Amino acid sequence: MDTAELAINGGTPYRTRPFPTYANASGRWLGEEEKQLLAEVIDSGALNRNDGTKVAALEHAWAEMLGVPHAQAVTSGTAALHTAVAALDLEPGDEIITSPITDMGTVIAILACNLVPTFADVDPRTGNITAATIAQQISPKTRAIIVVHLFGQPADMDPILALARQHNLRVIEDCAQAHLAATKPALSGAEGGRLVGTMGDLGCFSFQQSKQMTTGDGGLVVSRDEALAVRARLFSDKGWPRGIPGLRGHLFLGMNYRMTELQGAVGLAQVRKLSGMVAQRRRTAGSLRELVAAIPGLIPPYIVPGAEHAWWMFPFTIDSARLGATPQVFAQAIKAEGLPFWVGYIPNPVFEYDVIRDRKTFGTSGIPWTLPQARPGITYDRRDTPGTLQFLDEMFVMSWNEGLTDDDVRDIGGALAKVAGYYAAKRG
């Protein structure tokens, strides 16, 4: 193999075989356990959660795993976030602070409740919002914070929780990408610290195809607060207090976000494998992190001290001055070598999406920003989020999965070393 000449310059690509991917069986631990539980659902004929047992069993298993009393399964991670925000029962025009680097589902949950999103800048090393950046966005209308644990890296929760208590704000944790991620200090008797989703008022998880465990689509909300948990359960089932014979009533506006028994069956099998899947991700990502750290000109992913990363994506950056290459040039070169990395995760901060920038929400009303209860003059400017722009301009990311092997990791490291070595030599 010609390893001296870059593939982008006509040389032989370092890797020609595709890598395992979350998009199919190559990167997923799906098998006989899921098939067996699905068969039990089909044989029972009860495909709806209210007539079956699998969704309830998934909720119980998830709550037990996290050490919380309440878990509510729903149809997606977006539905989980919407359910959590709705459980707070805030007033239209109230504000929720969140991250400008996140899936749109985080912001949909805010807008769907006629609440106004505001955005705190991120630490460019992690992509997570911080207590310092959140504090800059608190207004008299702020009622809650949605903390996104990006890529499986736990946010620094202790100062965020202290800030929330100081201002009487609720905290929702968006753990869509962070199953079993944890942060210090450890609770008494808890292994590995505090699991994400258990520290705020509500925690939200996604089981979409790419997540650490999957049901195709699906989600779940957890809480230690019984009142919030009751409202979340009601909201996800049309506000209907089931269980009272002969009574059909709807206590408040809610959605139908009921997870099916088919999803519940897959989820129940998956949750039993989750610790092993995350352990495998941690092992291989840890190996790659060591390889990246040893390559001159490359900067391995930063991990908050004491945190246990769950590795939804593997990120790294480069020292452009040392290599004499921009992230965009370097990205094209490693792509030609067969590596599925790209720069930036999302193309822009979420507040630059059409739906927010042009207020494309409810017809031409501009709601929630135009509500009489809303604070006037709210605007979003990328110049207010330098950490976000740095992260999106410089961070290389690759989706991680439990199907990746030691050989895959060696190939990734080898291809990165080849490209970095070329540019370093060219730089002289």
> Any idea of the CA torsion for 28, 29, 35, 40, to the nearest 10 degrees?
-110
What pLDDT does residue 247 have? 72
| pLDDT, mean of residues 101-126 | 98
Query: Binning pLDDT at 50, 70 and 90, where does residue 98 land?
Result: very high
Q: What is the CATH number of the domain that holds 89?
A: 3.40.640.10
What distances in angstroms separate CA 288 from CA 245, 263, 295, 330, one per listed residue? 58, 33, 11, 18
What pLDDT does residue 427 have? 83
Higher per-residue confidence, 2 vs 136: 136
Q: Which of 259, 241, 42, 81 is nearest to 173 (CA)?
A: 81
What pLDDT does residue 212 have? 98
Percent of the chain with pLDDT over 90: 93
Domain contains 187: yes
Total number of domains in the chain = 1
Residue 138 has pLDDT above 60, yes or no: yes
Domain contains 397: no
Domain contains 75: yes
What pLDDT does residue 337 have? 98
Domain contains 401: no
Domain contains 89: yes
Domain contains 153: yes
Hey, which residues does 119 pair with through a beta bridge? 98
The structure's pTM equals 0.96
Structural contact between residues 208 and 218, judged by C-beta atoms closer than 8 angstroms: yes
Domain contains 183: yes
Query: Binning pLDDT at 50, 70 and 90, where does residue 185 land?
Result: low
Range of the domain at 95: 32-271
pLDDT in tens, 349-403: 999 999 999 999 999 999 999 999 999 999 999 999 999 999 999 999 999 999 9
What pLDDT does residue 326 have? 97
Domain contains 352: no
Query: Binning pLDDT at 50, 70 and 90, where does residue 193 land?
Result: low
Peptide bond into 368 cis (omega under 30): yes
Residue 272 has pLDDT above 80, yes or no: yes
| pLDDT, mean of residues 255-281 | 98
| pLDDT, mean of residues 223-241 | 96
What pLDDT does residue 309 have? 96
